């Protein structure tokens, strides 16, 4: 299968590093023009350099905006123009005993991880429907259905994204626009390296720390390793394509077999 996204314009929120940067790179590799986003202008511009370094000749536009606010979403919309592909990747995570999570932290997680996606879908879905083509993907997580005890607030937001996805897919029914969740499993990013260090200690070599983390904290993974970000990007590229035209309203798993169920 050869996926060709030339002529398509994509936005990946929270793509100055980690999974978002990998998704942006793989979309560019497939030929899409990609808008890279982060809150910091310098980091966003450096991300563009990384994408172009990996994909010479790629068309990549940096737009710094805080998408956890309505003003930031509107600002990005004005500068990015119309889109064919919207990838809501922006998210925060961290370990916290659930009884220590206060109201402000619950609200912050919901604002960043859920409402940032809702706002962008609300801004872009009408145009996609009018043109008869669009691809919306919300980057969810295995934590949406296997709530981790050390970060219940994060799991809650990913569960909410599954409901948001299904609802907007129904709103776009019969229009040529698809809306899906991508359920990423434990993935190797700098942020996750820090998270692993918090849980198993920072004095271990990385390979040993990763093995211990998977054994003690993610034991149900069938691949027994962290997923590499381009593996998430590959699924996003497929769901962005014409070939994925019959896949919508779904929770598509790239979880390394972590979720122990036949269905999400």
Task: Provide the residue-wise pLDDT of the chain in tens; the chain has 264 residues.
Answer: 899 999 999 999 999 999 999 999 999 999 999 999 999 999 999 999 999 999 999 999 999 999 999 999 999 999 999 999 999 999 999 989 999 999 999 999 999 999 999 999 999 999 999 999 999 999 999 999 999 999 999 999 999 999 999 999 999 999 999 999 999 999 998 888 998 999 999 899 999 999 999 999 989 999 999 999 999 999 999 999 999 999 999 999 999 999 988 876
103 and 205, same domain (yes or no)? no
On whether both 212 and 81 belong to a single domain, the answer is no
1 inside domain = no
Residue 4 forms part of a structural domain: no
Same domain, 78 and 202: no
Q: Rounded to whole angstroms, what are the CA distances from 171 to 2, 88, 109, 176?
A: 30, 18, 25, 12
Taking a C-beta distance cutoff of 8 angstroms, is the pair 86, 23 a contact?
no
As annotated, the active-site residues are 154
Q: With helix as H, strand as E and coil as C, how does 156-171 read?
A: HHHHHHHHHHHHHHHH
Residue 262 lies in a domain: no
Q: What is the pLDDT of residue 264?
A: 66
Which tokens in the block code for residue 76?
């990005």
Residue 165 is part of which domain span?
A: 9-187+230-254
Q: What is the CATH number of the domain that holds 48?
A: 3.40.50.720
pLDDT of residue 37: 98
Same domain, 94 and 155: yes
Examine residue 2 and state whether it is found in any structural domain, yes or no: no
- Look at the chain and report how many structural domains it folds into: 2
Residues 203 and 236 in one domain: no
55 and 40, same domain (yes or no) = yes
Do 217 and 143 share a domain, yes or no?
no
Does 207 share its domain with 130? no
Both 219 and 234 in one domain: the answer is no
* In a domain? residue 260: no
Q: Residue 202 falls within a domain, yes or no?
A: yes
Question: Looking at the structure, do residues 15 and 32 belong to the same domain, yes or no?
Answer: yes
SS3 state of residue 252? strand
On whether both 145 and 212 belong to a single domain, the answer is no
- Residue 192 covered by a domain: yes
How far apart (Å, rounded) are the C-alpha atoms in residues 13 and 255? 21
Please indicate, yes or no, if residue 264 is contained in any of the structural domains.
Answer: no
124 shares its domain with 201: no
Q: Which residues contact 78 (CB under 8 A, 6 or more apart)?
A: none
What pLDDT is attached to residue 262? 82
């Amino acid at each position: 299968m050869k996926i060709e996204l030339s002529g398509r314009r994509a936005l990946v929120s929270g793509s100055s590093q980690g999974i978002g940067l990998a998704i942006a790179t793989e979309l560019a590799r497939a030929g899409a023009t990609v808008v890279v986003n982060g809150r910091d202008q310098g980091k966003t511009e450096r991300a563009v350099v990384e994408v172009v370094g990996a994909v010479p000749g790629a068309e990549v536009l940096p737009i710094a905006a805080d998408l956890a606010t309505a003003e930031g979403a509107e600002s990005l919309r004005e500068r990015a123009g119309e889109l064919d592909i919207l990838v809501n990747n922006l998210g925060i995570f961290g370990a916290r005993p659930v009884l220590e999570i206060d109201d402000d932290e619950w609200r912050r997680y919901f604002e960043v991880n859920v409402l940032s996606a809702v706002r962008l879908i609300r801004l872009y879905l009408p145009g996609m429907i009018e043109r008869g083509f669009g691809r919306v993907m919300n980057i969810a997580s295995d934590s949406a259905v296997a709530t981790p005890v050390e970060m219940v607030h994060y799991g809650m937001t990913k569960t909410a994204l599954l409901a948001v996805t299904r609802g907007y897919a129904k709103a776009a029914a019969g229009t040529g626009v698809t809306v899906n969740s991508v359920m990423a499993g434990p993935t190797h990013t700098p942020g996750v390296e820090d998270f692993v260090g918090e849980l198993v200690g920072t004095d271990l070599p990385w390979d040993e720390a990763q093995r211990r983390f998977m054994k003690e904290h993610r034991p149900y993974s069938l691949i027994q390793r962290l997923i590499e970000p381009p593996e998430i990007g590959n699924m996003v590229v497929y769901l962005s394509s014409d070939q994925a035209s019959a896949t919508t309203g779904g929770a598509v798993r790239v979880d390394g077999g972590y979720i122990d169920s036949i269905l999400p």
